[in-house]
Each structure stands twice: as C-alpha cells, then as structure tokens.
Amino acid sequence: MSEILNMETICKSYYMGEEEIEVLHNVNLKVHSGEFLSILGPSGSGKSTIMNIIGCLDVPTKGKYYLSGLDIESYDEVALAKARNKEIGFVFQSFQLLPKSSALKNVELPLVYAGVPAGERRERAASMLEKVGLGDRMRNYPNQLSGGQQQRVAIARALVTEPTILLADEPTGALDQKTGNQVMELFEEINQEGRTIIMITHDTNIAKYAKRVVHILDGYLTE
C-alpha cells in the first residue's frame, strides 16, 4: 500500500512572549493508504497540535512533512489551502454545521467551493447522506437532528469531496457512549471501503476501533 503521510522528526514550538516552548518533540509517523489510525493521548499532550499539522492548518517548526509525496515546506498559504481542500476531510467534536442550512446544503457546500455544477452537487451530496443513513433527513436543519445524526451529516460533508484522508478530532466527544459507538461503526465501514482515517482521541474505548493506535504523551509519539 502506498505511503500517503510521512512525518520526519517533526518539532513544533509556540512562543509565549520571549519564551519558546516546544510541544511536539521529534515526531516520526508514516501512514499508508487504507489505514485506520488512532492517535491516543490525554488532554494537553499535543493532539490538536499534531492534527493541525496533519491537516495543513499549521506548519511544523522543524522536520519534514510529506503529504501524498509532496513536501509541505515548499508550499505557500495558497498551496497549503489547496492541499487541505483536496487531501483532507475534517470532522470535529462540535460538528460545526451551518445552522441555517439543511443537511443537504451542508453537505453540498464543499462541492460549491470545488466548483462542481449544481445538479451534480445535489446528487453527490444526497448519495453521501444516504450512505451515512440519513436519506430521509436531507431537508432537516441541524437543530432538528440528534447529536449522532448531526455528526453523520458532518461525516458526509467531510467525505463528499473524496479526500485522501478523513481526519477526525475527538469525533465522539460530544456524544453519549452508544451513539459514539455507532459513529465508530460507521468509521469502520468507511475504512473497509478503502478510505484512510486518522482519528484523534483521549478515549481508549474509542481508539480501539482503529486498526493501529499510536500514543502521544507530553509531545512524544510512540507506537
């Protein structure tokens, strides 16, 4: 299977006034196409920092990051945004749906940005919503859906552009245990169809749905 992500001795520092504080230390990580990887660690361990780098929302202070074989260091802001839109589908703890748009409109939105014509857009969004089990809820607004259903809409939105990686930050953090497990079963299905998933979590019970788990503690990553 081909390598789609390669981090080589990545460090990340933040500046607090004059002081430089390193929060990721020499992180090495390779991910191959089709993997379902979980990054497990407690609060403050560096999960969001590494997620932001993987998702091209931030750049490392030191080290190399290759995404789909391309060296992120050579990218300017515009190229980074392009890579992000093409390669990464984001799912967040808080769903981040547009409250005044229907489920269908929410899922269509990334295709609007991608310049896909209206008819095709609608069709692709509708079929993605059917796939996540919401075929009969397309016209509903987020506040008419349960938390689990809202997260399914967010998952459909993340997948509709067919990104290389589904990148999820605490995707079950706002859900009760049963609903969280159902969302994980959906992740398993999506992965079985070949999609690469990287999921960040502090919850051991959620991490075990992944086929591979790496641990992060105080900015150090270990298999």
Nearer to ligand ADP among residue 44 and residue 135 (C-beta) = 44
- Lookup: tokens for 41: 């660690």
Establish if 47 lies at the interface with ligand ADP (CB under 6 A).
yes
* Residue 109 contacts ligand ADP per CB under 6 A: no
**Interacting span for ligand ADP (CB under 6 A) from 37-45, 110-118, 159-167, 206-214:** 37-45
- The answer to whether the CB of 104 falls within 8 A of the CB of 126 is yes
Kindly state the greatest CA–CA separation across the chain. 55
Question: With contacts defined by CB under 6 A, how many residues of the chain interact with ligand ADP?
Answer: 11
User: How near is the Cβ of 50 to ligand ADP at its closest, in Å?
Assistant: 7
Burial class (CB in 10 A: 0-12, 13-18, 19+), 215: middle
Choose the stretch contacting ligand ADP; rule: CB under 6 A; options: 42-50, 114-122, 160-168, 180-188.
42-50
Of all residues in this chain, which one has the CB nearest to Mg ion in the complex? 48
Q: Which of 2, 18, 19, 43 binds ligand ADP (CB under 6 A)?
A: 43
Among Mg ion, ligand ADP, none, the one that 55 touches (CB under a kind-dependent 5 to 8 A) is none
Q: Which residues of 106-144 are buried (b: 16+ CB within 10 A; e: fewer)?
A: bbbbbbeeeebeeeebbebbbebbebbebeebbebbbee
- The residue count for the chain: 223
